[in-house]
Chain A
Amino acid sequence: MNIWENVVIPIIIVLGVLIVALTIAAGLIWVERRLLAVWQDRYGPNRVGPFGLLQVLADTLKLLWKEDWIPPFADKGVFIIAPGIVMVTVLMSYAVLPATEKIVVADLNIGLLFVLAMSSMGVYSVVLAGWASDNKYALLGGLRASAQMLSYEVFMGLSLMGVVLLAGSFNLKDIVEAQRHMWFVIPQFVGFVLFLIAGVAETRRLPFDLPEAESELVAGYHSEYSGMKFGMFFVGEYLGVTLISALISVLFFGGWLGPVLPPIVWFLLKTFFFICFFILLRAGLPRPRFDQLMSWGWKLMLPLALINLLVTGAVVLTLGK
């Protein structure tokens, strides 16, 4: 058994993915504030360090030094676990994400299913946080989050089945390899749009941030959280944004495939493009009403996903053999 290949390199990859993912997620706090400012004709945080980059450090220090307060009426155990769940589930998904052909922690043959399963598990964090807070706003936020994430998960999975049909595999590496001649965004454009919308809803980002709608629910499910526990929800959200962006680039835009530049650069570029798009959505769109959100999900998105799946299946069957 070769220790170098079987032990050291995997550990380096695991640590590398973990550190890069967390750094990007933390850096996004700054990126988002700068980009939002750009689109609102402002400058954003530009005073701490070069271009305000050290703002991330300042924010982290501030969060760490804040009082970590657990309300006396809260269900203490669950209250503490909830923010951990969101981090763990999102970080687990990074394990199957292939950044390049070589940089992947766990090359699962059901990688895509694993990602979907983990994003479903993420709902627990939000619901438990809302429940354990014993606060009406938090509970309402948790309820909204569970309803929203459950209904958008349905067609999130279905929208990806077209990709799976075309690639003939659940393995994310195989899916990228299958896009060597054509990105899946072209044959699966409907699937791409559906997955993008579901992804925004899954990460509870604007315009689908009803679980934490500031104007109605204080801060929704994390109203009672402070200090680094709030910080974990915060970073968990950005990890989710990065994950969905990376998934979009892997599933629909050929992941690391691209000319001239090294594969990892292509992967990061595509991912960053979609992160920026997520932030543009926040800058440009208002929040829908909750019943509009639900009826959109069930009456428009789900039928579309089903039709997309049917058509793709029929085309693959007729052209396939």
Chain B
Amino acid sequence: MLSLIGSLWGVLLHTFRPRVTVQYPDQKPYLAPRWRGRIILSRDPDGEERCVACYLCAVACPVDCIALQATEDKNGRRYPDFFRINFSRCILCGYCEEACPTYAIQLTPDFEMAEYNRQNLVYEKEDLLINGTGKYPGYNFWRVAGVQIGGKDKGEAEREVPPTDVHRLLP
């Protein structure tokens, strides 16, 4: 009986404790930079699309919510013709970000994407592309990759030596 009164008193003292509730729409919670929220496609420092349409994100996606079509521009640079993420399926697992070889696809600290119409949750490339570099400033895939594209021949990438001509290999 006394222990019951003790527990009632203990509960009553909670009147003066600070509240733990974050009053959400008025008071935004802190989201860590690595929060797995809305997915974006970033650009490299030159303002070009980073995505090389390698399909690795679509393959890694456990719910198959990413659809894209690869194509090439006149410089031989691969990019997605369309890039579509169906956010009504996406589970924000971040596997696409892990799979991406060019830091193009990234998850951001934003979760406020509710819609009244289900169809509006299908984001096209122009909805996904942002104007910045996201979490990786300064990284440019084509600048470090040993792939030849228009305007950059083999051996012209950063920290790359010109290729050896095997036919003129003399001691």
Contact = CB atoms under 8 A, between A and B. Distances in A.
A284 interface: yes
A284 B19 contact: no
A39 B15 contact: yes
A196 B112 CA distance: 49
A38 B18 CA distance: 10
Contact of B18 (A41, A280, A281): A41
Contact of A284 (B10, B17, B20, B21): B10
B18 A285 contact: no
A66 interface: no
B22 to A, nearest CB: 10
A39 B4 contact: no
A38 B17 CA distance: 9
Contacts of B23: 43
Contact of B14 (A39, A43, A281, A285): A39
B166 interface: no
Interface in B1-39: 4, 7-8, 10-12, 14-15, 17-21, 23
Nearest to A286: B7
B14 A280 contact: no
Interface string B77-105: 00000000000000000000000000000
Contacts of B12: 39, 280, 284
Nearest to B14: A39
A42 B19 contact: yes
A43 B7 contact: no
Contact of B11 (A42, A43, A284): A284
Contacts of B11: 39, 280, 283-284
Contacts of B10: 284
A292 to B, nearest CB: 13
B17 A41 contact: yes
Nearest to A42: B21
Q: What band does the interface of chain A fall in when counting residues whose beta carbon is under 8 Å from B?
A: 10 to 19
B20 A285 contact: no
A43 B21 contact: yes
Nearest to B23: A43
A67 B66 CA distance: 40
Interface in A1-41: 38-41
A234 B15 CA distance: 26
A156 B131 CA distance: 74
A291 B12 CA distance: 29
Contacts of A38: 14-15
A167 to B, nearest CB: 28
A285 B14 CA distance: 14
Given A41-B20, A42-B21, A43-B23, A285 B15 contact: no
A105 B117 CA distance: 56
Contacts of B21: 41-43
B19 A41 contact: yes
B4 A40 contact: no
A40 B14 contact: yes
B8 A281 contact: yes
Nearest to A283: B11
Q: Which of A38, A42, A280, A284 has the most CB of B within 10 A?
A: A284
A15 B10 CA distance: 41
B4 A285 contact: yes
Nearest to B5: A284
Contacts of A39: 11-12, 14-15
B107 to A, nearest CB: 30
A171 B147 CA distance: 99
Contacts of B15: 38-39
Contacts of A285: 4, 7-8
A38 B10 CA distance: 13
Nearest to A282: B11
Contacts of A283: 11
A284 B12 CA distance: 8
Interface in A272-298: 280-281, 283-285
Contacts of B17: 41
Interface string A37-77: 01111110000000000000000000000000000000000
Given A38-B15, A39-B15, A42-B21, 13 more contacts: A38-B14, A39-B12, A39-B14, A40-B14, A41-B21, A42-B19, A43-B19, A43-B23, A280-B8, A281-B8, A284-B4, A284-B12, A285-B8
6 contacts: A41-B20, A42-B20, A280-B12, A284-B8, A284-B11, A285-B8
Give 5 nearest A-B pairs by CB, closest first.
Answer: A284-B11, A284-B8, A39-B14, A41-B20, A43-B21
